[in-house]
Amino acid sequence: MEGMMQAFGNSSNSMLSAWGFKPKEREDEELEETKTVKTVQEVNAESMLGNLHNNINFFFDKLELNEDVLGIDYILLLRALCHNTTVRFLTIGSSFLGSLNTDEEVRILLEIAASMPKLETLRVTFVREMAMEAKVVSDIIGRTSMLKELHLVDLELPGDDYDMESLGEVLEKLTSLKSFSMLNLGLEEAVDESDPITPDHIVNSLSGLPALEHVEITMRRKFLWEGDSLGVLCDSSTLKSLKLENMTLSIAQVASIASSLNDNTTLTSLQLRHCGLDDECWRAVASILPENGTLQHLDLSQNDKLDDDGCFVIGSCLEGNTAMKTLKLYNDEGSEVTSRGVTSLFRMVEKNSALECLEMSYTASDAVGFKSVADALVRNSSLKRLYVENHGKAVSTTGVVAIARALESGNQGLEEIAIIFDGIDNDGVLALAKAVEKNSTLKHFTFNRAEYRRAFKPAPPSSGDVVQRMSLMMTTDL
């Protein structure tokens, strides 16, 4: 055993030498206290270094390098990381990376950290102003051997198509990887007539990983993503969740996703937020809904092309779906959904027996649309959470009272409801207050008229669920 430990110590010294650092002769003395009064950060740093060196303590498997250990001796940290054989989960924050003196120090730290033999989860949040070339990132990731989770946040990734291909080849070797994310990723933009650098090589490499379950990619800058690489990824027999945000997906990409999901039996969650979906894309996504029995959570928020026709397509295709539990259609002021679109969606809610959560915003519906909401609440028995935010049209007392009556006598499984709209009068507010008092299952109620806060009181305790909290929010000045 002594021979093995000596051999490991020699190898760690050799590793440091390779990076240009000379090993310290008296390691124990370097860890002794040198100040009589120490800051909290210094105490935390010493404790962390001690734990890193103590390879007998197998309970020390999680390491966080953040603002709590700023000022730690850089060389001692590198030595400790080289020595450690227990850490499995490593998080490195942007504040810590920002405290290092040079980009070279950042690179060396990440390379040594990635070389820890037991490392399974690596999460790095980069400094936004710092760029790290794709070939450098490839070298860092290439040192890992057992990664199950890799999360890179705020990474500005300069490099040409060849560099991105090399990065993809490195990712292909992470055969144990289950969860992968690149959040707020920055890539080279198109110059003159050139094509922009895309995540195609990254996605293509992920598609062949045998254990991959979760992928999330959000972009710092929007770009047009053409091709069909996302469809290839969705062909994976292990993928359970795909989240994409802040990009413009071509109809070819969306169609390839839809085509793959027609046969996919593993993907349960799909998010396409800020993805520039047009009418063709809406129809492509909707086409998978009648037959797909696996997808449970669909988020198509912040796609400003959503209109009444899109709502009709989504609603009609979901009527007979027995798997979907969550549908999110948050939009911004550019949304063109009127009463017709709202009615289409809630006609689906009436007939659908699986949907538990529906969220939509910036509709411009009148009383007709909200009457359809009320009708759905009366007939539906599965919905647990409803969020509807309406702007641009005043809702008459008739529409508000219809919803109030539905809350009194309708869906007894509804636990959370948020109704935010313009133009409500006193009669409407009082009707809602009365409904909330009588409803014994509602736990959260959100409303936009703060001046009527006193009208809403929790229902008295009763058997089963009771109103636990009511959140009355002022969202607009009426």
The answer to whether the CB of 61 falls within 8 A of the CB of 88 is yes
Give CA separation, 47 vs 43, 62, 69, 109, 478, in Å.
Answer: 6, 13, 10, 19, 56
Q: pLDDT tens digits, the chain, 478 residues: what are they? A: 455 445 445 555 565 555 555 555 555 555 554 444 567 777 777 888 887 877 666 678 999 999 988 888 999 999 999 989 999 999 999 999 999 999 999 999 999 999 999 999 999 999 988 899 999 999 999 999 899 999 999 999 998 889 999 999 999 999 999 999 999 999 987 555 567 789 999 999 999 999 999 999 999 999 999 999 999 999 999 999 999 999 999 999 999 999 999 999 999 999 999 999 988 999 999 999 998 999 999 999 998 778 899 999 999 999 999 999 999 998 877 677 899 999 999 999 999 999 999 999 888 888 889 899 999 999 999 999 999 888 766 677 888 889 999 988 866 789 998 888 776 778 888 888 888 888 888 888 887 644 334 344 444 444 333 334 344 433 333 3
The alpha-carbon radius of gyration of the chain (Å, integer) is: 27
Q: Scanning the structure block, which residue is given the tokens 């071509």? A: 250
Give CA separation, 75 vs 8, 29, 42, in Å.
Answer: 18, 14, 15
Give CA separation, 104 vs 33, 327, 350, 437, in Å.
Answer: 29, 46, 60, 63
At residue 50, the pLDDT reads 80
At residue 179, the pLDDT reads 99
Q: What's the chain look like in SS3?
A: CHHHHHHHHHHHHHHHHHCCCCCCCCHHHHCCCCCCCCCHHHHHHHHHHHHHHCCCCCCCCEEEECHHHCCCCHHHHHHHHHHCCCCCEEEECHHHHHHCCCHHHHHHHHHHHHCCCCCCEEEEECCCCCECCHHHHHHHHCCCCCCCEEEEECCEECCCHHHHHHHHHHHCCCCCCCEEEEEEEEECCCCCCCCCCCCHHHHHHHCCCCCCCEEEEEECCCCEECCCHHHHHHCCCCCCEEEEECCEECHHHHHHHHHHHCCCCCCCEEEEECCCCCHHHHHHHHCCCCCCCCCCEEECCCCCCCEHHHHHHHHHHHCCCCCCCEEEECCCCCCECEHHHHHHHHHHHHHCCCCCEEEEEEEECCHHHHHHHHHHHHHCCCCCEEEEEEEEEECCHHHHHHHHHHHHHCCCCCCEEEEEEECCCHHHHHHHHHHHHHCCCCCEEEECCHHHHHHCCCCCCCCCCCCCCCEECCCCCC
In this structure, CATH architecture of domain 306-478: Alpha-Beta Horseshoe (3.80)
- Residue 183's DSSP bridge partners are 153
At residue 4, the pLDDT reads 46
Question: Positive or negative, the Cα torsion across 432, 438, 441, 443?
Answer: positive
At residue 423, the pLDDT reads 67
> b/e per residue, 445-461, with b = 16+ CB within 10 A?
bbbbbeebeebbeebee
Beta-carbon contacts of 238 under 8 Å, excluding residues fewer than 6 positions away, are 209, 210, 211, 212, 213, 266
Cα 201 from Cα 434, distance rounded (Å): 58
302 token code pair: 């912040």
Q: Scanning the structure block, which residue is given the tokens 């994409």? A: 244
193 token code pair: 């007539």
At residue 440, the pLDDT reads 83
At residue 32, the pLDDT reads 53
At residue 16, the pLDDT reads 57
